[in-house]
Chain A
Amino acid sequence: MNDIPLSSSATSRAHPAIVTRPGTAAGLDRWGWRPADWLFNRVFGSKWSPLYQSGVLAVTFLVVTLVTGLYLFLFYKVGDPYGSVAAIDRGLVGGFMRSVHRYAADLAMVAVALHALKMLVAGKTWGPRATTWISGILLVGTLLICGWTGLIMAWDVQGQLVAIEGARIFDLLPIFSEPIGRSFARAEGVPESFFFMNLFLHLAVPLGLLALFWLHVTRVARPCLRPPRGIERYALGILVAGAILVPVPLPPEADLLSVPAEVPLDLFYAFWLPVARNVSPGVHLALWSIAVVGLFSVPWWWRPRGFEIAASHVDEGSCTGCTTCYQDCPYDAINMVDREVPSRASAKVARVDPALCVSCGICSGSCAPMGVGPPGRTGREQLRAANAFLEAAALRPSDVVLVACGNGLGTAPAVLDAAGGSIVPYETGCSGSVHTSVIELLLRRGAGGVFLLTCPGRDCLYREGPKWLHERVYNDREADLRDRVDKRRVRIASFSRTEAAAAASALAAFCDEVAALGEKPVEHEVKIDLECEVPVELVV
């Protein structure tokens, strides 16, 4: 058995904030994201907020686009693009499918834009996440190409404008031996081969989208591809109802010998047309180049100065090879490898790949022998910090300790003041990094209750923090909260940064529950047992 001495020689910070928020976008957050976050949480509640489901909603809408697109493909004719689309549109099912296809494509772009903005605001764009960001931008690029080719396919006035203005840019690039613009300098219309090529791109590019999507999610463990069923049904319901109630109109047919006075623009894809019409192709190309370079280089310029990610580290002497951290790491940053120094404890030992680790600390919470975690945040170090906190705080039996993730609401005064009661704040990093032994220690050394305030599951900065905390506290997942702890005195609650009032009332209600439970004995010397009790000895 391996006991950890909880001496008062530990650091004496009363609030050992271990905040790891790697963002830089305070202004964008305050004036852009947070008001939207507040609004959506007011309407939907953080559990249902589409803002927290932007990535998976984008996938949902893209799948709808794919399915409806396959249907439309059956009736599309490259020899008569507008005529065939008009014929599809006249049919009841065809018109509905076309509307769903178009709205789903637009909604996918909205979801993608929100997803990118969310990542930008949260600072999830650099370091080990750079690959994900860059593949995400490539995905946006392929989505745009799908959209443009889709608009051209219908060969209405909008498609004509997209094709002609797009050709003016492409013809500046040394790509094609013959200018594409020449395809539109024909009184008899655009050659069929152009529409064939356009259709090919419209179908082939989504295949590239799939490959890029794999790259996009490959850096995370257990990528989430579908929204919760309720949200999925709701989104699809809105889409179907919208397509029935407001079918997408088909604009007039393209005419190469006419300049249309008014074109209905789909701003989600053809947002650049007003610019294209008002500047020279060279300037337009330069603007696109700046945007593309700017977006791709975000991981290098949109990052906090002087902030480095402190990768997690495994103490091989403590590791028993249980594989829990390997399973729980949300970023697949841990591998089980053969020990270099043999041990009776296990043949394998956990090893962190620093290039993949984002320093979330979730492995700290998963390790019963407390042998893994980012510097200063392993279970042992958390216990030392908690002990120092207890020394300074001198808790009363009625006190409730608010253990709050500093990446979310944290110990905001709005929560503390509104909740009233006898609350002692204790801010931590991601809730999934909190070792259950800290909860046990707080309770055994005097706290009447421990209220764990986490971010909503889908808004966790590190993807799975609240999930793993919940599993460890309530479902016996390693490192589990031991049975000797009275779980009535522990509460996990998830609220977003804009739900301080709701968090405060949940906290106040918990304080009342704890008060009703009465006082409990206080232990002045606490020994925390390590769960993996196989003696770890290194055989040298």
Chain B
Amino acid sequence: MSWSFDDTRRHLGRVAFSALLFGAVVVLGQVPFGAPVEDAFLRLALRTTEARIEICRDRTHAELEALPAHMRQPQICDWHIVPHRLLVRRGAETVLDRVLEPAGARSDRPLAFDEQIALAPGTAELAISFEPAEAVIASASGALAVALAEAPRHAISRTIELQAGRIVLVRLDGDGGTLVIDG
């Protein structure tokens, strides 16, 4: 088989075209995405199982008598996941004010919140509170009211430096412990 100028030209064309295609793959594989970030961010990532309140009472003698012998538990308990209010202030300005309801079809999932809020960079006096919602407290009575009065209330305030492109993370230490600010 003899090699002609035409063959060389065709092969060079193929190589050039392949290089072009490969170049397109390289470019599309590293497309710069994003824009200069001017805001600072507050990421609130909270989750707690401590919003669950269990109210128990002793069964009366008559109630126990009415039950089959193997079901005679002396106590009867009922539990609620209490909606909480999450309030974030920057100085006098309210940045976020949200009542968190328990999720799930039976409203039995732990309270959780995970959102990122854009804030102007600079020094900020942050005040964050996370506590049982007032409306629930107001409508509660009896043992529930007592339990709610004793339920943990979380609050933290700190002066921090918010920097453009940086995230300040707010979370609950452990499973519903104290509020912590990272970053």
Chain B contact patch, size range: 20 to 34
Interface residue B47 (Cβ < 8 Å from any Cβ of A):
yes
Whether B30 lies near A264 (C-beta < 8 A) is: yes
Contacts of B182 in A (CB 8 A): 187, 257
**Binary interface profile of B, 15-26, with partner A (CB < 8 Å = 1, else 0)?**
001110010011
Asked if B169 contacts A107 (CB within 8 A), the reply is no
Chain A hits for B41, CB < 8 A: 259
Interface flag for B165 (CB, 8 Å): yes
How many A-B pairs with Cβ below 8 Å? 99
Q: Which positions 155-183 of chain B face chain A at CB distance < 8 Å?
A: 165-169, 171, 182-183
B37 within 8 A of A: yes
* A264 contact set on B, CB distance < 8 A: 30-33
Q: In the complex, how many angstroms separate the beta carbon of A394 from the nearest chain B beta carbon?
A: 42
Whether A261 contacts B13 by the Cβ 8 Å rule is no
> Inside 8 A of A110's CB, which chain B residues have their CB?
25
B142 at interface (Cβ–Cβ under 8 A)? Answer: no
How far apart sit A264 and B32, CA to CA, in the bound complex (Å)?
A: 4
User: Which A residues between 231 and 247 are near B, CB-CB below 8 angstroms?
Assistant: 234, 238-239, 242, 246
Contact string against B for A residues 80-122, beta-carbon threshold 8 Å, 1 for contact and 0 otherwise: 0000000000000000000000110011001000000000000
Q: Decide: A266 and B165 in contact? CB cutoff 8 A.
A: no
Distance in angstroms from B1 CB to nearest chain A CB is: 14
Is A267 a contact of B28 with CB atoms below 8 Å? Answer: yes
Could you say which residues of chain A place their CB within 8 Å of the CB of B68? none
Q: Is B35 an interface residue (CB 8 A)?
A: yes
What B residues does A273 contact at CB under 8 A? 33
Least Cβ–Cβ distance between B15 and chain A, in angstroms: 8
Expressed in whole angstroms, the Cα–Cα distance for A88 and B33 within the complex equals 25
C-alpha spacing A415/B32, complex, angstroms: 47
Residues of the A chain whose Cβ atoms lie less than 8 Å from the Cβ of B14: 43-44, 48, 234
* B22 A268 Cβ-Cβ under 8 A: no
With known contacts A181-B114, A246-B26, A259-B167, A43–B13 Cβ distance under 8 A: yes
Q: Which residues of A contact B96 (CB under 8 A)?
A: none
CA distance A249 to B31 in the complex (A): 12
User: Which listed residue, B36, B37, B45, touches A185 by the CB 8 Å rule?
Assistant: B45
Which chain B residues numbered 108 to 158 have a C-beta less than 8 Å away from chain A? 112, 114
| Chain B residues whose C-beta falls within 8 Å of the C-beta of A48 in the assembled complex | 14
- Residue B90 interfacial (CB < 8 Å): no
A259 to B19, CA, bound (A): 35
The one of B22, B36, B183 in contact with A187, judged by C-beta atoms closer than 8 angstroms, is B183
Residues of B within 8 A of A261 (CB): 34-37, 165
Instruction: Type the 1/0 row for A212-244, where 1 means its CB is closer than 8 Å to any CB of B.
Output: 000000000000000000000010001100100
Q: Is the beta-carbon distance between A238 and B18 smaller than 8 angstroms?
A: yes
> Smallest CB-CB separation from A168: which chain B residue?
B114
Nearest-CB distance from B20 to chain A (Å)?
10
Q: CB-CB < 8 A to A186: which residues of B? A: 169, 171
CB pair B167 A256 closer than 8 Å: yes
A201 surroundings in chain B (CB, below 8 A): none
A400 to chain B, nearest CB (A): 28
* Interchain CB contact under 8 A, A258 and B166: yes
* Chain A nearest CB, measured from B102 CB (Å): 14
How far, in angstroms, from A267 to B45 measured CA to CA in the complex?
30
Q: Report whether B29 and A102 are in contact in the complex, using a CB–CB cutoff of 8 Å.
A: yes
A263 within 8 A of partner (CB): yes
19 contacts between A and B (CB under 8 A): A44-B14, A107-B25, A171-B114, A181-B45, A182-B112, A186-B171, A187-B183, A234-B18, A257-B183, A258-B165, A261-B35, A261-B36, A262-B34, A264-B31, A265-B30, A266-B28, A266-B29, A268-B25, A268-B28
Give the A-binding residues of B (Cβ under 8 A): 13-14, 17-19, 22, 25-26, 28-37, 41, 43, 45, 47, 112, 114, 165-169, 171, 182-183
